Amino acid sequence: MMLAKRSPLQGGPLAYAVLGVATLLFVFPFYWTLVAASRTNSELSGATPAFTPGPNLFHNLGEALQQAAIGTALWNSLLVSGAVTAGVVLSSTLAGFAFAKLRFRGRGLLLAVTVGTMMIPPQLGVIPLFMVVVKMDLQNKLPAVILPSLVSAFGVFFMRQFLIQALPDELIEAGRVDGASALRIFWSIVLPVARPGMAVLGMLTFMATWNDFFWPVVALSSQNPTVQVALKSLGQGYVPDQSVVMAGTLLGTLPVLLVFALLGRQIVGGIMQGAVKG
Amino acid sequence: MAITSPPAPAAGRRPERPAPAGAARRSGPRTAGRLAPYGFVAPFFVLFAAFGLFPLVYTAYVSLHRVELQTSEQMDWLGLQNYTRLFEDPFFWNALGNTFTIGVLSTVPQLLMALGLAHLLNYRLRGRTFFRVAMLMPYATSVAAATLVFAQLFGRDYGLINWVLTSVGVGPVDWQADTWASQFGVSAIVTWRWTGYNALIYLAGMQAIPGELYESAAMDGASRWQQFRHVTIPGLRPTIVFTVVVSTIGATQLFGEPLLYEGNSGGGISHQYQTLGLYMYEQGWSFFHLGRAAAVAWVMFLLIVVLALLNAAIAARRNRTDR
């Protein structure tokens, strides 16, 4: 993944200093969320802001769970992100394998269409999508946010790049000589080799889906929200209690941060891998 | 769901001929093997056509009709009227201008900082994995979470940033009501979330540049800065073009940050930071004019196409003059 290529330059103290300051800037808002979520609203609106965590964290978390149905929202987000991740990983591995290793008429054109449409923001189709959802009576229901996200052009491209390198042609040929069907080859040869790529794509997809905002806000109501939709309604009260808002934010961010703490290295590697073009 | 159905129903149990790369396509009865690839790509393309391509094209059709949110079944032909109404609306032009300024305010510093950070991360460093992971953490937050936190940091009366500014004697800034300050605030959220991500993409590009290039540049007496300018930047050009295009597209459809910055779809009291994405949402889901919202969507789409082509043209031109 990351080659152990020796970097051309040795970093000096200045490099550490700049990176250190940047790291502080990147991490501080997380720390501050924790601080604000563990204080009271009046402490937050004092003349001198608080800089260390206080004792009110659990009280505020409880309030947030009550006010914005964050419990339901967390469960909904888990369902949606899980289903979407499974769909994207499976459909991308299938198509990515075909694009990487199989020859068929129209392959170049189909691949060009796939890559080309990566540039089209899905937002722009939101209105017809909304009309379809209303017509299918799916408004405010989870399938409304699951169905449109089950496939991803980026995922197909990512798995293709991965499989071109990871899957030797000889393996597939050996399978064919042994008389395995296409499906069988996919199941017993491609899938095991594809697993590391699928894992990275799965993490990226899970995070992106968990954090998705525009379409869930349009398709779901605050009665049956995902976490992001719930956060929106939490922030829009007439006089929102800031410490409760921050507690909700913490709840919505924590699951992804946990994934990140465990798998940060792999996620970094995955993004860098997906970034190397052509 | 379509995904769970077997991908290649046509694939029989018959042995297939190995098809080494470059082999001539065989004609004959082995249709099973020849259809299998289509089976593999079918789940993707079926769903993609239904939920990706069809809505985009259908948006154009909707934009030519009067469609209201409450009665979205009923569509009355309007021709280009949605578009002409749009171009007569000062709030549309306001949103277009804001999208542009916020886009520049967020994209330019973001990419420049990412470039610098990537350069530093490319040094031999202790704890470089730690720096990389820390840098990517904002990417792991959502628009909603990041915006709520920053909205508080940027608070006028009790915000941390104004507290710092007041303590150093600069005085408080109204980060919500003032036009430039509020646009800066929204841009800061975008920049915070995406700088590390772009830095990693640049880093990946930098690692693909052969080390010998640096060595020979150093032997020719090039300083570090000259190496950066004449080895790193040219080597990164495709990656830079890629990030510029992607960030431009992202900036064009900015939505969550301005929506949650103060919590209304107007984008501030005097629409001072309402973007096109937010304007579209307001037309569709606050004013119930789905047809007009579709027109905004198509204007955004055309804008993105123009910007992407412009980027590509600039990149191609620079390539030619450099070589």
Find the mean pLDDT for residues B222-241: 89
Question: Are A176 and B36 inside 8 Å of each other by CB?
Answer: no
- Assess whether pLDDT exceeds 50 at residue B25: no
Which residues of chain B are within 8 Å of residue A125 when distances are taken between CB atoms?
Answer: 51-52, 54-56, 58-59, 297
Question: Are B41 and A94 inside 8 Å of each other by CB?
Answer: yes
Helix (H) or strand (E) segment spanning residue B66: strand B65-66
Range in B69-73, B125-129, B134-138, B290-294 the model is least confident about: B69-73
Q: Taking all residues of chain B, what is their mean pLDDT, rounded to a whole number?
A: 86
Which CA distances in Å does B142 have to A78, B145, B190, B246, B275? 15, 5, 11, 18, 19
Find the mean pLDDT for residues B177-206: 95
Positive or negative torsion for Cα A37, B134, B243, B180: positive
Q: Are B160 and A248 in contact (CB under 8 A)?
A: no
pTM of the model: 0.88
Name which residue leads in pLDDT, B323 or A77: A77
The per-residue pLDDT for range A214-262, each reduced to its tens digit, is 999 999 988 899 999 999 988 776 667 889 999 999 999 998 888 888 8
The pLDDT-based confidence of A67 (bands split at 50, 70, 90) is: confident
Q: Are B248 and B103 in contact (CB under 8 A)?
A: yes
Find the mean pLDDT for residues B185-208: 95
Q: Are B145 and A31 in contact (CB under 8 A)?
A: no
Predicted local confidence at residue B3, as pLDDT: 32
What's the CA gap between A153 and A91, in Å, rounded?
Answer: 10
- Assess whether pLDDT exceeds 70 at residue B98: yes
Find the mean pLDDT for residues A99-125: 87
- Assess whether pLDDT exceeds 60 at residue B10: no
**CA proximity to A154, closest of A31, A13, A270:** A270
Q: Å from B70 to nearest chain A CA?
A: 10
* Residue to test with chain B: of A117, A124, A167, most B Cβ within 10 A: A124
**CA proximity to A125, closest of B282, B321, B290, B29:** B290
Q: Taking all residues of chain A, what is their mean pLDDT, rounded to a whole number?
A: 88
Q: Å from A25 to nearest chain B CA?
A: 8
User: Could you report how far apart the first and last alpha carbons of chain B are, in Å?
Assistant: 52
Question: Which tokens go with B203?
Answer: 């880093």
Q: Which residue has the tokens 């103290």?
A: A13
* Residue to test with chain B: of A10, A33, A34, A127, most B Cβ within 10 A: A127
Question: Are B143 and A211 inside 8 Å of each other by CB?
Answer: yes
Which CA distances in Å does A26 have to A33, A136, A231, B135, B191? 13, 43, 21, 6, 10
Range in A113-127, A132-146, A223-237, B39-53 the model is least confident about: A113-127
Question: Are A182 and B39 inside 8 Å of each other by CB?
Answer: yes
- Assess whether pLDDT exceeds 50 at residue B269: yes
Q: Å from B105 to nearest chain A CA?
A: 18
**CA proximity to B110, closest of B7, B267, B247, B310:** B247
Which residues of chain A are within 8 Å of residue B134 when distances are taken between CB atoms?
Answer: 23, 26-27
Which residues of chain A are within 8 Å of residue B235 when distances are taken between CB atoms?
Answer: none
The pLDDT-based confidence of A68 (bands split at 50, 70, 90) is: confident
* Residue to test with chain A: of B27, B45, B48, B265, most A Cβ within 10 A: B48
Question: Are A117 and B16 inside 8 Å of each other by CB?
Answer: no
Which CA distances in Å does A254 have to A110, A224, A265, B227? 39, 20, 18, 42
Q: Which amino acid is at B29?
A: P
The per-residue pLDDT for range B104-158, each reduced to its tens digit, is 999 999 999 999 999 999 888 888 889 999 999 999 899 999 999 999 999 888 8
Find the mean pLDDT for residues A22-39: 94
Q: Are A102 and A111 in contact (CB under 8 A)?
A: no
Q: What are phi and psi of B77, to 5 degrees?
A: -65, 135
Q: What SS3 state is found at B65?
A: strand
The pLDDT-based confidence of B316 (bands split at 50, 70, 90) is: confident
Question: Are B148 and A135 inside 8 Å of each other by CB?
Answer: no
